Chains A and B, each alone.
Chain A
Amino acid sequence: MIVNSIGHFAAPPSPALLAFVIAPLAHLRPLDIAVIAIYFGIVIWIGFYLKGRSNTSEEFFMAGREMTAWIAGLSFVSANLGSLELMGWAGSAYQYGILATHWYWIGAIPAMLFLGLVMMPFYYVSKTHSVPGYLMLRFGQHARVLAAISFATEMILMSGVNMFAMAVVMKVVLGWNITFSILVSACAVTLYVALGGLRSAIFNEVLQFVLIWAGALLVPILGLMQTGGWTGLKARIITNLQSTGVHTAPDSYVHLWRDTGHFAANPMGVHWTGIVFGLGFVISFGYWTTDFLVVQRVLAAHNLRAARMAPVIGSFFKMAVPFIVILPGLLGLVLLQNPDHSRRQLVPEEAVKSCAPLDISVGPVSASLSAEIDQRRAACASDLKSATLTPAFRQDVLDQKPGPASELHSYNEALPLMLVRYCGPGLLGLGITALIAGFMSGMAGNVSAFSTVWTYDLYKPLINKKGSDSHYVLVGRLSIVIGVAVSIGAAYLVMHAAGIMDYVQALFSFFIAPLLGAILMGMFWKRATAPAGFLGLLIGILTSVSLFVWVKFNPVAMHTVALSPDATAMAANLYRALWAFLTSVIVIFVVSLFTKPKPVAELDGLVYGATILPKEDPVPFYKNVWLWAILAVCIFATLNILFW
């Protein structure tokens, strides 16, 4: 599973899948190639153009702190909108139905609003350059170094995994060479981020956000026209699923909350407590309020009002993203067709490999080959167990009948398949550009955040405290180049040792919940002490790692971690985060009671109740951040009720 962001889990393209790719899904025409080439040309040109405005460390790492609320807000959302996110969640919508939307609504909106309204003043007023920097001010050097090392490692490895996964997607969709995709995208991102710093990354993220919408919006529009709108789509989904013998009620695919009262009643196998507390609180708040990848974008705002408004603006766009991600997946359930016009049914990623036909055309079938065929058939049947397929199609796949049953496509291909369905020359190029733009914005976010944390939180305090400003800018630029080089190494490591991918991606989930516990306790409890902050973070991380290892080596333990034998791996991740968060909070609470707190005077600008926030200039009512936050809450509530 890929953990893209806030615990977004999407099955990654398997390295082994490469051996089974039959033909690319799409062929680009010259017009498509021109569209893609223009995109690469302009992002690199932007890097060169902004190089002259990234000479000081404040300009290079913090974009001069001169972004408007709109730019910071769009960049805030765009850094999270990677192409794996787009395709992974379209695939999840195909697999789990509308429940996948929770990761965009309850799994994002409350946390984004909380960041803007409550937490941003402390980050902004403290003038910290990073989230580990805030921990330094609040809990001291140990907590900062622990958070910085874990974050920097995670950023680089995640960047490598995403780079590789994207190259596999390009291979599957377009037939592009893996090394070509990795090198071209890595070079482009390195150039524009190393030249223009955070300013260039933000600049391109806003551009990429617009392109993602321009390239992907056509699919849901045309799809809804073809299915007769939302009502028609729902009716056709229910009709199709009835023919597959799905274990839940077919209409559970089109309800957000109705069937979450029991693990077994919904296709995702989650309970509403896991969604609300695990996803909606711990994972979501952990990601959107403490992950420096996104918080860095808001810290670049030109004043406190803009910094508070940016996440609120971002929340409106985040609420709209399911339109271009979830809807294509749902539309895929009813609209995808094989070349013979029968309904195309997608399967899990692992089934594409295990159900691929063996080449037995040469010579007689030996005993060993016969055993391998039986083994593959059993693996195929097992991998198809969770798939919602018609009985006839399932049997055809197991029998390896020629035709659609022998040319399987995975859930992750739902979005590219929908693009190919509606987009001719030019539009297809724009759609592919949207996917590439999503990947590059995610990777630029990783390396720019890595560069800042490495320079400010590791190099400066631990290696060279007395460097000049220009020296630190040079270190930042070099760290981007070296970081991308290490990411490329990680990408090839993953290619040759697929098992590593699981561990690298799990890294993300280890840190986020304990970090949230430490930040919230530090920001809202004056009594929290420095040793408690460090120990809470450390023991929280160890708890998360231990639970992961326990489930990895003893799958039955998942039932304990997630409180139910019906829980899926996704539910277990939500609960693991909840336990790690609670551990962190409890440790900080207990240790603080036995250690000496800082005087309140030293907590000014860091802790709620000990800080006098600067007065903001009066603004017209329509620029009031609370007004827009209330509007966002109303839309959020309405959407959840509408799709209940």
Chain B
Amino acid sequence: MLGYAFRRLLSTIPVLWIALTACFFILRLAPGGPFDGERPLPPAVRANLEAHYHLDQPLIQQYLRYLGDVLRGDLGPSFINQDFSVSEQIAIGLPYTLIVGGLAFVLATIVGVVAGIVGALYRNRLGDHVLALLILLGLVLPNFLIAPILQLVFGLQLDWLPVGGWGGGAVTHLVLPVTVLALPHVAHISRLMRGAMIEVLSSDFVRTARAKGLDRATIIRRHALKPALTPVVSYLGPAAGFLLTGSLVVETIFGLPGVGRYFINAALNRDYGMVLGTVVFYMVLILVLNLIVDLLYAWLDPRVRGR
């Protein structure tokens, strides 16, 4: 198991390096620089700025410097928010993103798994059809559509929940963003879970368990749950990535001060340093989460480890 973990870890490093290199050169070779404003800067100011950010050095030297900085955990300077480095801005936003994303992840997994099991047990009955409809809605309705509708209904018309903002992390402020972020994943997970559960429930070992006289709850808990979870677990890796993408929208709509919102603002303002740094950070985060999921998968399904 440890060897497997180590091999997976090693194989992510070249990926990260290639992705980082590609992003770096795409951004540097782009026409126009971060200091091309509406009015051209005086040459002296410009030269000073470029010297400050080492933009006057040969490209390859800039690249090596950046690579070195990243290895030391410094994601470089922000060109627009000059008072904060990229790492500092990410550190400020990260707790908010992790809290909302983590809660949505847990919520989506629990609700999705339970809904999937219910759908499988009540297959083709009313509960299952209602679930199928909800899954369809969750898959088709984009989060940027659900969010304003929920804001309107629960925030403005019913006046139950605040429309946006962090509010010191109060539960009421978290309900809407977490729900919106979790919904599409609830749909995905329950669909996967339902399919896998139906398949497992019709397998021989479940029939044997039933023949032994076990009741349904015990069969599901002791025998069916673990094998049925494997497709769900293999979805959790990509789900982390989708949650991250979703957090861009959710943080923007609900005005949460997370990394996603900084990233969107940086991209809209063409803050090269911040965009590059955030993308690198996101890649590391996603690859680490995927690694964890891979290990979880290997634990659930021992056949994977040998590969």
A and B: interacting chains: no
Interface residues of B (CB under 8 A from A): none
